[in-house]
Amino acid sequence: MTNDRPTPTLVFGPAYLDRVIRVDRPLVDPALGGRPLDGSVDGRRIEEGEGLTLLDPLGSRIVVELPEGWPGPRGTIGLSRPLSERAAGWSRAVRGVAWADDLGGMGSGFAAALGGDLVSALGPEDDPGSRAVAGLLARSGIRHHPIRIGVAEADWTLLVTSGKFGDKLPVGFRGCHASLTGLGPWAGRPCKLRVVAALPNRLAAEALRGPAEVRAFAPALRNMIDRDPPVSSFVDAIDVLSCNRGEWESLDDREQVAWQVSILAVTDGPDGATVRFTTPDGDAGLVQVPAFPRARPPRDTNRAGEAFASTLLATLLGAGWTPGVTPPDLARLAAERASAASALVIGRDEFGFPTPAQVDEALRDGRVG
């Protein structure tokens, strides 16, 4: 950083290795009711073993039959929160059909989708996991500014996905990001668009208060239940907030937050998305868009949230939007393009995002074929 010229887009958020396992059926028995899983949890190793069991605090478990060549982990992994609020003590067997290692983390997703610079933590340069993440970021063309944590390994995630059944269960194993205490000079770096994704609230607040024309917050579930500090204490630094339905409903003071942001986008999987805003007349505006039609079931619902939020932001900024009021036709256009981008990204198996031209083509066709 040798000058104070604004960076077009600056993203603060984690980048890590995703170890992805794809399974052949829903992760929770449909007879128990409820929506597909779509929310991150923290994991801890309980005991080693030959198979893979995910055990939640209420005694419910998912037992995974591992695919050929699976490199680990194996054994029993404890989850930080329940898999289902409707029932406890159940057991569900699923079969792994494939696995892969890929670039993960909401920070890397937003940086790739928006063409932005990424600020995230990495462990020491001799940490194999950190080297792997750095290599994946370079391969994806992401400009990365690492904050090195000398005593912690890189984060990684066990990502269990059921593809066409819609489940996405990221089980995080925290490393260097849990040891991150500040963002250094990057917190004060001027930028046009500042995106903060899934960092602890104390760091999210620091990043969002930096100089920027537009500030967007993409929280994970842990942000919504974090009270140190609560989201409402730094909502004045948020222009656009985008999250999924489960995350939004876990925020205790959500209505207070909703009235203070310029735009609130809440995605709801197969039920589409809702965008709340203030019209030029000062009225409360609301746009609801259905899930964009697809000719085939999704391959992987991972990255759908980043695709939606980044396309929403890009459409707004491309039209010259600034925080405050939003014309209803612009809000609808941004929501429809964001919905199409999500439909495109869930047709991919690997890390990556659709181009604006691909989004526009999908809108012209009326579905993803």
What is the total count of domains within the chain? 2
The DSSP secondary structure of 269-316, one letter per residue, reads GGG-EEEEEE-TTSPEEEEEEPPPPBSS--S--TTHHHHHHHHHHHHH
Amino acid 5: pLDDT: 54
Beta strands in the chain (DSSP E): 7-12, 16-23, 41-47, 52-55, 61-65, 75-79, 91-104, 117-122, 143-148, 156-161, 168-173, 191-197, 212-218, 240-244, 263-267, 273-278, 284-289
Domain that holds residue 121: 7-17+103-156+174-365
Judge whether 168 lies within some domain: no
Helix (H/G/I), strand (E/B), else coil: 178: helix
The CATH number assigned to the domain holding 128 equals 3.40.1190.20
Instruction: Classify residue 133: in a domain, yes or no.
Output: yes
- Co-location of 215 and 311 in the same domain: yes
One domain for residues 29 and 131: no
The Cα–Cα gap between 204 and 299 comes to 31
Q: In a 3-state reduction of DSSP, which class is residue 142?
A: coil
Domain end residue (candidates: 101, 136, 165): 101
Check whether residue 220 and residue 182 sit in a common domain.
Answer: yes
Structure token digits, residue 128: 């194999």
The model carries a pTM of 0.90
How far apart are the C-alpha atoms of 57 and 88, rounded to whole Å?
A: 9
Identify whether residues 233 and 151 lie together within a single domain: yes
Do 131 and 270 lie in a common domain? yes
146 with 284, same domain: the answer is yes
pLDDT at 2: 36
Residue 194 lies in a domain: yes
58 inside domain: yes
pLDDT at 323: 98
Task: Tell whether 358 and 212 lie within a shared domain.
Answer: yes
Q: Which of 101, 116, 136 is the last residue of a domain?
A: 101
- Co-location of 13 and 33 in the same domain: no
216 part of a folded domain: yes
Do 206 and 294 fall into the same domain?
A: yes
Q: Are residues 62 and 210 in the same domain?
A: no
Same domain, 111 and 91: no
**11 and 144 belong to one structural domain:** yes
Look up residue 291 and give its two tokens: 């899930």
pLDDT tens for the chain, residues 1 to 369 = 334 556 799 999 999 999 999 999 999 999 888 888 988 899 999 999 989 999 999 999 999 999 999 999 999 999 999 998 888 999 999 999 999 999 999 999 999 999 999 999 999 999 999 999 999 999 999 999 999 999 899 999 999 999 889 899 999 998 999 899 999 999 999 999 999 999 999 999 999 999 999 999 999 999 999 999 999 999 999 999 999 999 999 999 999 999 999 999 999 999 999 999 999 999 999 999 999 999 988 888 889 999 999 999 999 999 999 999 999 999 999 999 999 999 999 998 889 999 999 999 999 999 997
Residue 335 lies in a domain: yes
